Structure 1
């Protein structure tokens, strides 16, 4: 079951961003992916499942969409 839903604004850490404060950013979840499929602007196939969904997030600053694991999402913002 997906923890987050389409349309939610979230704060998250970029892939490879580490744990430094300036590595966080915000965006909107545009799709919850629950199976293997090409995702985001890069078209890289993500290995998602019902148990481990990926969240396609459109970055507020760049407008680019990238799929993230739940571990990258810090939480929902208003």
Structure 2
């Protein structure tokens, strides 16, 4: 499992998990609690600038990941 750190840009599913069929969005990680599959990331959405916590399973990778 990839570990991310504050400042990393990621794409993620705001609802469900990484395999969810909802559209993905991008944001910047601003805080990390825990590690591995138990990690909870605070992500600031690129479009809304709102911050929310997401589990590692919601993150699909970096914006350049297919």
Where in structure 2 are there 5+ consecutive unaligned residues?
A: none
Match of 2:12 in 1: 12
Kindly report the root-mean-square deviation, in angstroms, between the aligned alpha carbons of the 2 structures.
2.0
| TM-score between both structures, scaled by the size of structure 2 | 0.77
Deviations, residues 20-48 of structure 1 (Å, cap 9, x unaligned): 4xx210000000012xxxxxxxxxxxxxx
Where in structure 1 are there 5+ consecutive unaligned residues?
A: 35-49
| TM-score between both structures, scaled by the size of structure 1 | 0.66
Per-residue deviation, 1:77: 2.5
Match of 2:60 in 1: 74
Per-residue deviation, 1:16: 4.2
Give the number of aligned pairs: 60
Higher CA-based Rg = 1
SS of the residue 1:56 aligns to: strand
Match of 2:26 in 1: 26
The separation in 2 between residues aligned to 1:29 and 1:66, in whole angstroms, is: 10
